[in-house]
Amino acid sequence: MTSPKTANETSATAELRREYRYGALSEQDVSADPLQQFTRWFDEAARAQVLDYSAMALATSSGDGPSVRTVLLKGLDPRGLRWFTDKGSEKGRALRANPRAELLFHWRELDRQVRVRGTVTELPDDESDAYFYSRPLGSQLAAATSAQSQGVASREELEARYRTLSDTHSESVPRPQDWGGFLLQPDQYEFWQGRESRLHDRLQYQVVDGGWVIQRLQP
Instruction: Just list the catalytic residues.
Output: 198
Q: Shortest CA distance to 60 belongs to which of 37, 87, 33?
A: 87
